[in-house]
Amino acid sequence: MTVNSSALNHSSLDKRITLLDCPGHPRLAHLLRQSLTTHSPKGFLLLIDSANLKQSLNETANTVYSILLTLPRPCDVLIVANKSDLFTALPVTKVRELLEGAISGLKKTRDEANVDEEERSTLGGVPFDFDELESEGVMVEWTRGSVESREIAGILEWIAKRIS
């Protein structure tokens, strides 16, 4: 697997945007870290499977936590509750609530086991709250959508506002 690159042209954008698509599997996390060192992203889109989050919550929380630690500062982040068109999809507020709870548990465990004070103080306190990341230069916003059904208005709006 590799990082995919594509240009995005849309009437709502002032200019052409280059998108990099990194695989989300934990075994391929090195591709994201590598991409972040070779590119200077203006923003970061994170798609969460809102129809399957309860089954994959721990894995998703670990991935989100690792990504948040890796991101350059300052950075704008849009978390998309993807697959929102499906009957089993959770609303954005529930996706956020579940992730904050799972990351709180993960952060508490890692903070207690970690002797590295810098990582311990990163990403706010316990309980974890995405809003606290703003003080670290990470502005997190949320939207719902469905890439498969082309419900991407929230994504395009965020790109137009934050990136282009």
Could you tell me if 40 and 29 are in contact, meaning their C-beta atoms sit under 8 angstroms apart?
no
The shares of helix, strand and coil residues in the chain, as percent rounded to the nearest 5, are 45, 20, 35
| Contacting residues for 33 by C-beta, under 8 A, at least 6 apart | 70
At the topology level, CATH places domain 4-163 in: Rossmann fold (3.40.50)
What are the pLDDT tens digits along the chain (164 aa)? Answer: 666 667 777 777 777 777 766 666 666 666 767 777 777 778 889 999 999 999 999 999 988 988 888 888 898 999 999 999 999 999 999 999 999 999 999 888 877 776 566 666 677 778 999 999 999 999 999 999 999 999 999 999 999 888 87
| Whole-prediction pTM | 0.86
Name all contacts of 119-122 with Cβ < 8 Å and 24+ positions apart. Answer: 119/69, 122/69
Q: What span, in angstroms and rounded, lies between the C-alpha atoms of 103 and 106?
A: 5
